[in-house]
Structure 1
Amino acid sequence: MACANKKLIESLRETASRLRNGAYYAWGHHGGCNCGNLLQVVTSLTKEEILSYAHTTRGEWTEIAEEFCETSLTPAYVMISKLEAIGLTPTDIHNIEYLEDAEVLGKLSGGFRWLKRNDRADVIDYFEAFADLLESKLRQHDGQQLLKNLIDEEVEKPTMYV
């Protein structure tokens, strides 16, 4: 599962917002698909630039992510490194393209349901549910860290006997 962080959550929400407001969407277009739209937000590149970078290797984003090589300077791999830099894993990238992470689907408004990978409204719902899930994980982690810090402070205080 993705590493919950503010940058990733904001990127998912911005992507959903842009799609809701009419951003170009075409599931079969590397620059305008689910990952392509997220990459536009993360990199500030256009769909055409992302498409040209994606064509430096073969396959869809999910396959490119699986074959990702950190030492390669292939532009498609640079795109994958941008997604990984905000906390996504190759599995997350696959799930974003196919809208199929069960944990995310369980966070959908109205409860779990299967989504269509090439339906704009379903993509928006998935991005928002993913952001909600990560936000709840981040809040839970922050709360646990706060509690740990409070416990550590208590342990470090010397006990005074009167």
Structure 2
Amino acid sequence: MKEIKAELIAAIERTAKKLKNGAAYQWGHMGACNCGNLAQELTSLSKAEIHRFAMERSGDWNDQILEFCPTSGYPIDLIIENMLSYGLTLDDLGHLERLSAPEVLAKLPFEVRNNLSQNRKNDVILYLETWAQVLRERWEKQTPAFDLVQNEKKFISHALS
């Protein structure tokens, strides 16, 4: 993770909330899977648009991440580049798709962490909520106390929208 941004934390929380409230989830669909749902939130593209753009090149999100080239001209690379502009790394995206970031898993009880399934909606929601918590804690440590009040107002505004 690069510098943690409040906008990213808010987007992760909104993604989890949307999934909880019934947003489409389908792990095999590039626009409705783990990364696809976060991409919808960060890019304002629909699941259909993300899926269509991703299908211009073969492979799932893990393949797309491995083949990422910001100058390729492929729309999926523009989507990934946009996601990276929020402070994500390619590793973060790979971990999201597999629910595998060590710092996120460490926050989960052992029995939960060992039974996570990357294609189970409730597990994705739990992972997103926990990831947002981990990022928020790190963000608060990296943000000087002087800036916390202003950033907190922005964060709350984004989280509620």
Instruction: Name the TM-score class by shorter chain.
Output: 0.7 to 0.9
Change (3 A) 1:2 1:128: farther
State which structure, 1 or 2, has the greater radius of gyration over its C-alpha atoms: 1
Q: In 2, are the aligned partners of 1:7 and 1:86 still within 8 Å (CA)?
A: yes
Partner residue, 1:150: none
State the alpha-carbon separation in 1 of the partners of residues 26 and 2 from structure 2. 24
State the alpha-carbon separation in 1 of the partners of residues 146 and 69 from structure 2. 34
Give the deviation of 1:3 after TM superposition: 3.2
What SS does the aligned partner of 2:45 have? Answer: coil
State the alpha-carbon separation in 1 of the partners of residues 58 and 2 from structure 2. 25
State the alpha-carbon separation in 2 of the partners of residues 145 and 91 from structure 1. 31
Q: In 1, are the aligned partners of 2:43 and 2:83 still within 8 Å (CA)?
A: no
Q: In 1, are the aligned partners of 2:31 and 2:37 still within 8 Å (CA)?
A: yes
What SS does the aligned partner of 1:27 have? Answer: coil
Q: In 2, are the aligned partners of 1:104 and 1:130 still within 8 Å (CA)?
A: yes
| Runs (5+) with no aligned partner, structure 1 | 147-162
Partner residue, 1:93: 93
State the alpha-carbon separation in 2 of the partners of residues 80 and 145 from structure 1. 32
How many percent identity over aligned positions? Answer: 40
CA RMSD of aligned residues (A): 1.8
Partner residue, 2:51: 51
Partner residue, 1:123: 124
User: What amino acid does structure 2 have at the position aligned with 1:76?
Assistant: I
Counting only pairs closer than 5 Å after superposition, residues 142-157 of structure 1 correspond to structure 2 as 142-143=143-144
1:3 and 2:3 are equivalent in the alignment: yes
What SS does the aligned partner of 1:40 have? Answer: helix
Partner residue, 2:64: 64
Which is further off, 136-145 or 31-40? 136-145
State the alpha-carbon separation in 1 of the partners of residues 65 and 87 from structure 2. 13
> What number of residue pairs does the alignment pair up?
145
Give the deviation of 1:145 after TM superposition: 8.8
* Per-residue deviation, residues 114-159 of structure 1 (Å, max 9, x unmatched): 311011111001111111111100111124898xxxxxxxxxxxxx
State the alpha-carbon separation in 2 of the partners of residues 145 and 98 from structure 1. 37
> Taking CA–CA contacts closer than 8 Å with sequence separation of 6 or more, which of the two structures ends up with the larger relative contact order?
2
- Give TM-score, length-normalised by structure 2: 0.84
Partner residue, 1:39: 39
User: What amino acid does structure 1 have at the position aligned with 2:140?
Assistant: R
| Runs (5+) with no aligned partner, structure 2 | 148-161
